[in-house]
Amino acid sequence: MEFRNMKTFLRVAELQNFTKAAEELGYSQSTVTVQIQQLEQELDVLLFERIGKNIRLTEQGLAFRHQAREILHAVEQLESSMKGTQQAKGFLRIGTVDSLCSNRLPAVLQEFRRYCPQIEVVVRTGFNEALFDMAQKNEVDLIYFLDVRQYRDEWIKVTEKEEKAYFVAAADNPLTSQGAVSLTEILSQPLLLTEKGKSYRRCLEEEVAKEELELRPVLEMANTDVLIKLVASEAGVAYFPQFIIEKHIKDGQLAVIPCEMEAEPVWSQLVYHRDKLLTPQMKIFMDIMQKMEF
């Protein structure tokens, strides 16, 4: 039984499509078909149920998917131990959100470069649903995102960290030196917010809705750096996770507005698809992420 046939089987199983698997693997569709047929003949089982142009795993296919993943994982571990990480070549594809890309990834990637200097790192950014779609299509190896705690059967969670968010204003704004400020009073200020769809913006909207209030921002923008500059210049108030604003608070540009409302915290989470074949560089990156103290 050839390892390449098992790798092909796992890609077809993940994509549920022979043509797409062939394109990603650089094979012709007939080659992929032959490889799957060889596996089915060797195992004497039907791995895929074919109905028209649609395919799905049979019960035997589901069982073999788990076994194939374990076998290839063991092979990869053996190859990694024999070659050593300094000789590892290839690429690592990471999907993440803009805020984590700007504030967290630089330190992680700098450490990763020490261990894997020959690995090409590709970082793609987008909203959470787009990131999950990228991982589902095997366009990225790992996704690092912000949201409420996510648990899905098809994803393996590597690490997670609670990220509290706060209303902030320019350091000399009177609201920052008062006691607990009501949500109503904060919302009466000019609001500078990130675009709808951002995880912490969505959590804020949910909390505001519970109070039967409404967000009416004077400006919405994806670029958090620009928003922070506007807030520091007394253009209004904003709502950010702590890791985005902590440097600006230390520098005396911004200050937290103590608010009576406590929104549900978001979590930074690193995950990968359960069917993803782990590469040595993925394991090194995950190990660095688990050890990093943010």
Show me where the domains of the chain are located.
Answer: 3-83, 87-163+267-291, 165-264
Answer yes or no: is pLDDT of 77 > 70: no
- Residue 14: predicted pLDDT: 85
DSSP code for 161: E
* The pTM of the whole model exceeds 0.85: no
Q: Which tokens is 236 given?
A: 């209004």
Within 8 A by CB and 6+ apart from 174, the residues are none
Q: Quick one: CATH architecture of 3-83?
A: Orthogonal Bundle (1.10)
Residue 165, token pair as written in the block: 């968010």
The CATH number for 87-163+267-291, chosen from 3.40.190.10, 3.40.50.10260, 3.20.20.70, 3.40.190.80, is 3.40.190.10
pLDDT in tens, 227-276: 999 999 999 999 999 999 999 999 999 999 999 887 778 999 999 998 88
The alpha-carbon radius of gyration of the chain (Å, integer) is 24
CATH class of 165-264: alpha beta
- For the stretch 212-236, what's the b/e string if a residue is b when 16 or more beta carbons lie within 10 angstroms of its beta carbon? eeeeebeeeeeebeebbebbbeebb
- Whole-number pLDDT of residue 81: 56
Q: Are 158 and 274 in contact (CB under 8 A)?
A: no
Residue 108: CB atoms within 10 A of its CB come to 19
SS3 of residue 148 by DSSP: coil
